[in-house]
Structure 1
Amino acid sequence: MTIEPIHARSLGDVPHGFLGRRGGVSVGAAAGLNVGLGSQDDPAAIAENRRRAADAVLPGARLVTLYQVHSAEAVTIAAPHDDAARPHADALVTDRPGLLLGILTADCAPVLFADRDAGVVGAAHAGWKGALGGVTDATIAAMERLGASRARIVAAIGPCIARASYEVDDGFLARFAAVDAANERFFAPGRAGHHQFDLEAYVASRLATAGLARVEALGRDTYAEEERFFSFRRATHRGEADYGRQISLIAAG
C-alpha cells in the first residue's frame, strides 16, 4: 500500500502533506506508517516509516520533529538536529530550504502554515491544551520574527478528531468558558454531564481571529476513519496497549 499524502488547496505548491497510516511497515497495534518515537513499536520500523514519510513529501530533505508536550511553545529551526535532541515544544518554524518540519498526531489537530512570499513555513501540534494556550498564535509570532506577515500566511488544519467523536465532560467545557464565554459555541449537547467538542472549529476560529490570509479545514475525522488514520481515543476505547502516530509535513522548499 502506497503513502497517500493529503494536500491542502490553500498551501498550493508549497511542499507539504498530511499523512495517515497507509504505506508503512509497522505491524500490530501501530500497523502502518507509524512515526511515533514514543510508541512501543519496533525502532527500525519507525525509522523506515519516517524515511518513507519524508520521501513522500520532499525527497532528500532532512526531517525535523519535536518532543511534543502539549504546550504553547514554538521554536525556530535553523539547522537539523538528531532525534535524541528534539526540542520540547509543540510548534516549529523555519525559513531554511531543505528542512522538512514534522508534527505528530493521533487525534490532535496538525496545523501547517506558509507565507510563500517570505519563504517561511510552520507546523503546530494543536491538542485541546495547546490550542487553548495559544500554540497557533505562538507559531504565527515565530514566523513573523523570520519575516512572514500574517496578512500573507495561509494555514491548513489537517485530520483530527471530529466533534461527533469527541465527548468531553462539564469540567472540560468550563476550562474553555473560563477563558472566553463565547467558546461555548464549540460544544454541542451530549449525554447528561457531557458535550461534543469541535476541536477543528476552535482551532480555525483562533487562526481567523489572528488575522491570517486564509484558513482551510480539511474536515477529516481520525477517530472514525480507522483504515486511514491512527487515533489515541479509539485505541483507548478498545483497551489497546499502544497506538500509532501519523505525521504532517511542510518545507520551505
Structure 2
Amino acid sequence: MVFTTRAGGVSSSPYGSFNLGDHVGDDPEAVRANRRRLAEVTGVAPENFVWMEQLHTNTVTVVDGPRPEPVEATDAVVTTTPGLALCVLVADCVPVLLSDHGAGVAAAVHAGRVGARNGIVRKTVETMVEQGARPGNIQALLGPAAAGESYEVPGGMAADVEKHLPGSRTRTRAGTDGVDIRAGLVRQLMGLGVTHIDADPRDTVTDGDFFSYRRDGQTGRQAGVIWLTGVGSDGTD
C-alpha cells in the first residue's frame, strides 16, 4: 500500500510537482512522467496500473486484468489478480485501501462526501466478501484527507450525511457545521466487522504536503495505490 504526496514529480505550478491526475489540466507529458516514476518506485509495471473515472458514484467494479483506459464511471475497484496496482486519486476525498491478504483480495476506494454517504465503502466490502474475503481479516488504511475541522458544509448537508454515515457530523475549527468523512467511515467499517483499521490523521486542507481542492481550487491529485504480490500477500512490503 502506498500513499503519495505532492513532492517528487515534474509538474509545474499549480500542479507542482507529483500530480498523478490526468483530468485536471496539467501537461499530459508531465503526468505520464509522474506515473512512470510511481511505477519505478513501486516496482509495478506501468501497464498494470488500474485507474478509475471517478464520478462520486457508489459503483464498485471487479477487475481481473490490465486496463489501458480508466475504468468507466466507478469509484472503487476490487481484484484477486496479483500484480495489478489499483489506484485512487484524491485531493481532499478519502482514499481507502483494503486488503484480505490471506484470501488474496484487494480494493481501492474513492470515498468523497457523496460516495461515502451513498455507501461506496460498504458496497466495496460486500464485493470483497463475494470474492472470498472475510471482514475480520480485511485490513483497511484510510489516507490523508480533509479533516472535519476544515470541512465546512451547510447544516442540512451535515445532517443528511450523518443520517447515512453515522459518526461523520462534527464542528469545524470556526465552530460551524462540518463533516469528518474519515470518522464516519471508520465507524462504518467497524460495523461491517472490519476491525484492522488505520486512519492517517493528516488534513489535506491545512497540510501543504498534499494537494487540496478545497484550499486551492485548481490543483493536482495524489494517489493511494494497492497491489497483490501473490496469493496470500499484499503490496504492503
Post-superposition offset of 1:190: 6.5
* Alpha-carbon distance between aligned partners in 2 of 1:234 and 1:185, rounded to the nearest angstrom: 21
Unaligned runs of 5+ in 2: 230-237
Post-superposition offset of 1:23: 0.8
1:73 and 2:49 matched: no
> 1:88 aligned to 73, 83, 105, which one?
73
1:231 and 2:212 matched: yes
Give 1:243's aligned residue: 219
* Alpha-carbon distance between aligned partners in 1 of 2:172 and 2:97, rounded to the nearest angstrom: 30
Detail structure 1 runs of 4+ shifted over 3 Å in the superposition.
177-180, 189-192
Give 2:234's aligned residue: none
Unaligned runs of 5+ in 1: 1-15, 237-241
Post-superposition offset of 1:173: 1.4
1:101 and 2:86 matched: yes
Give 1:141's aligned residue: 126
How large is the RMSD of aligned CA atoms in angstroms? Answer: 1.7
SS in 2 for 1:121: strand
> 1:206 aligned to 177, 188, 199, which one?
188
SS in 1 for 2:205: coil
Post-superposition offset of 1:167: 1.1
* Alpha-carbon distance between aligned partners in 2 of 1:103 and 1:25, rounded to the nearest angstrom: 20
* Alpha-carbon distance between aligned partners in 1 of 2:109 and 2:128, rounded to the nearest angstrom: 12
Give 1:219's aligned residue: 201
Q: Write out aligned runs for 1:1-253 (5 A).
A: 16-60=1-45, 62-83=48-69, 85-179=70-164, 183=166, 186-188=169-171, 194-226=176-208, 228-236=209-217, 242-253=218-229
* Alpha-carbon distance between aligned partners in 2 of 1:190 and 1:220, rounded to the nearest angstrom: 15
The TM-score normalised by the length of structure 1 is 0.85
Query: Between the two proteins, what is the percent identity of the paired residues?
Result: 35
* Alpha-carbon distance between aligned partners in 2 of 1:124 and 1:177, rounded to the nearest angstrom: 20
Post-superposition offset of 1:247: 0.6
Aligned residues: 228
Post-superposition offset of 1:52: 1.3
* Alpha-carbon distance between aligned partners in 1 of 2:181 and 2:168, rounded to the nearest angstrom: 11
Structure 1 range deviating more: 58-67 or 69-78: 58-67
Post-superposition offset of 1:37: 1.3
**Does the Cα contact within 8 Å between 1:173 and 1:184 map onto a contact in 2?**
no
Cα shift readout 1:68-90 (whole Å, capped 9, x = no counterpart): 0101111101011112x522100
1:60/1:178 Cα in 2 relative to 1: closer, same or farther (>3 Å)? closer
* Alpha-carbon distance between aligned partners in 2 of 1:65 and 1:110, rounded to the nearest angstrom: 13
Cα shift readout 1:28-51 (whole Å, capped 9, x = no counterpart): 111111111111100000111112
SS in 2 for 1:31: coil
Post-superposition offset of 1:138: 1.1
